[in-house]
A and B are shown apart, each in its own frame.
Chain A
Amino acid sequence: MILVLKHSNIIQHPYTNIPARIGFAYCFSYERSRCGWLPVMCGIFFSWSLTASRPPSDDFVQCLSRRGPDSCRIIHRSLGVKGPERRTLCDQREKLAPSLDQVSTVLSLRGGHVVAQPLEDSNSGSLLSWNGEAWKIKDIIVQGNDAKLIFDHLLRAAQTSDDSNHTSKPSSRDTTLRNILNVFSWISGPYAFVFYDAQNDRVFYGRDILGRRSLLISKTPTTSLRISSVSAGKEVGDWIEVEADGIYMLDLTSSLNATRIPFEPHVGNSQQTNAVVHIPWANTGSLPQTLHSLVPDLHFHFRIHV
């Protein structure tokens, strides 16, 4: 049962005598814990490397565990090089052994039942680390575990074939990309996440549009990319904040040709493969032309243009 408060007052503005109606509405998730007001928090770490696995150091795990003392899972995946690229890549001097490590620590005060993260889908191998509270998805108040719900949405969006209709045309990679991005546009609430889309060899990460949860990315220009909720003290000098300005996508297949993984996505450089793509939040609706306009209409349920 979710409590929603809507507190409206008609107040006469003394200067203009225009009635100013205040809609003071906010949602408190009461069901979230069944005891009311108990958070589920998460520490996130992700590392993708072309050459050697780079799991988090003990210091790192300790820092992450402050945010999530009840559960810690480290998942390591070796990502085999597939298909025709194999011969070319094996000829190279440096042995390519792409792999990823995804770590989640969880704090859950739900009386014994901890939903461990990263969430893992046994069919596809996809992983989700979700540090957030989805109050609403598509304007519908969320009941139960929001991480699982969002994972379900993402897995469905990432489906590359449509069995049910027996149509001959499976969803293209672009379509699944659009579907996945749409899921994030449906969410109201604070979050930071890493989603490994194993079906399509992609990793998505980002923060909610207001940036209410922390997410950092390592800016060391090496053959690896690392993302984390916090930095461990001793590794300062290496991290910057992920901008809360959209969704970021790391394409694992095209990254195999990259000589380095830029931490900042950029376009137009023919020398390097752009491994990370930035998909910005888009505004919907037209910008109000009158003096009333305070900011462009930042509508939080919006279409992301791919």
Chain B
Amino acid sequence: MAGSCRVAVLFSGGLDCSLLARLLHDVLPKDQEIDLLNVAFENPRVVHAAGGEDSQSPSIPRSPYALCPDRITGLSAHAELLNLCPTRTWRFVGIDIPYSEMLAHRTQIISLIYPHNTEMDLSIACALYFAARGTGAVIDACAGSTSSYTTPARVLLSGLGADELFGGYTRHATAANRKGLHGLAGELELDFMRLGKRNLGRDDRVISHWGTEVRYPYLDEDLVAWALSVPVWEKCGFGLAGSQEEGSLPSLEPSKKLLRLLAWKLGFRGAAAEKKRAIQFGARTAKMETGKTKGTQTLS
């Protein structure tokens, strides 16, 4: 069934990747398929916390994957894409990773991320590792069946960089509130400058392991140069006193406001309203054993 798919998108259904997918549609030839890779993990701590069987319907199994936040937003954004761009084949690939499988690959992943070595590094890397492997399940809506699928795409697009350039983190809002626009600008600069050191080397090692190449459209030099030249208040709405919301304008949250408005303008209303969620929480790779683990903790 693997047709003409050459590009896949690392797809949580959030604003950044949804925008990428929507714009990708404008770039690619019409007949090319686009695979949307969505990862969900079986997190034993979350499963356990959810309790035992439902007393009302004990025979219905609870799928830990279906309840992952990114799975929910991913499916919702996929549905929106199907409506917005009906001529395109959008293949949603649900990559479900049981806890046992994560454990089986854990040592390999730790070796790949080295010299990065914290719990947060590992939880982010786990999600990227299995996404890059690209093996999951595709639902055939017409036949009502699920089949195993591995994406033939060797190029993976990631929305990394959008938060740092357009103000997507809660700490950006905090900086704006406490220190004003100047503080916000400083915080954005700090985050942007740290990208290579904190994330990109590690992510390259993990993703390239599968012979997959990750590309970051938000980190295109021309786009970055432009984004860095734009005043902060034209990119996000933090730290700006009260708005005169007109009826015709959408009420969207201030983070990455410029991107939200663009998504809205392109008709992508659901994605435009999605709150930021880090990959390790959306896919539930974080805090698998105990809730007390801190992201900054060194791996044992």
Contact with A along B252-270 (1 / 0, CB 8 A): 0000011001100100000
Does B99 sit within 8 A of A, measured CB to CB?
Answer: no
Complex contact A231–B222 (CB within 8 A): no
**Given A14-B249, A23-B226, A294-B189, are A214 and B204 also a contact pair (CB < 8 Å)?**
yes
Which of the 9-residue segments B43-51, B142-150, B239-247 touches chain A?
B239-247
The residue that A214 contacts in the complex, of B6, B205, B212, B235, with Cβ under 8 A, is: B205
Which of the 9-residue segments B59-67, B83-91, B213-221, B289-297 touches chain A?
B213-221
Give the interface SS of chain B, mostly helix, strand, loop or mixed.
helix
Chain A residues closer than 8 Å to B205, beta-carbon distance: 214, 229-230
In Å, the complex CA distance between A14 and B233 comes to 11
The size of the chain B interface, using a CB distance under 8 A, is 67
Give the interface SS of chain A, mostly helix, strand, loop or mixed.
loop
A to B CB contacts below 8 Å, 28 in the list? A5-B23, A11-B258, A12-B249, A13-B234, A13-B257, A15-B243, A20-B230, A22-B258, A25-B222, A26-B223, A27-B220, A37-B154, A41-B208, A66-B209, A66-B210, A67-B211, A188-B222, A211-B201, A213-B201, A214-B204, A216-B115, A216-B201, A230-B112, A233-B114, A239-B114, A241-B115, A244-B201, A291-B181
Does B10 sit within 8 A of A, measured CB to CB?
Answer: no
Chain A residues closer than 8 Å to B195, beta-carbon distance: 210-211
The residue that B185 contacts in the complex, of A37, A230, A236, A293, with Cβ under 8 A, is: A293
Chain A residues closer than 8 Å to B228, beta-carbon distance: 294-295, 297-298
Interface residue ranges, B against A (CB under 8 Å): 6-7, 23, 26-27, 32, 107-108, 111-112, 114-115, 153-155, 181-182, 185, 188-189, 192-193, 195-197, 200-202, 204-205, 208-213, 215-217, 219-226, 228-235, 237, 240, 243-246, 249, 257-258, 261-262, 265
Q: Quick one: closest B residue to A67, CB to CB?
A: B208
Complex contact B237–A15 (CB within 8 A): yes
Interface residue ranges, A against B (CB under 8 Å): 3, 5, 7, 9, 11-16, 18, 20, 22-28, 35-39, 41, 43, 66-67, 69, 107, 109, 133, 135-136, 188-190, 207, 209-216, 229-233, 236, 239-241, 243-244, 291-295, 297-300
In Å, the complex CA distance between A233 and B209 comes to 13
Residue among A24, A109, A233 having the largest count of chain B Cβ atoms under 10 Å: A24
Complex contact B219–A210 (CB within 8 A): yes
Chain B residues closer than 8 Å to A216, beta-carbon distance: 115, 201
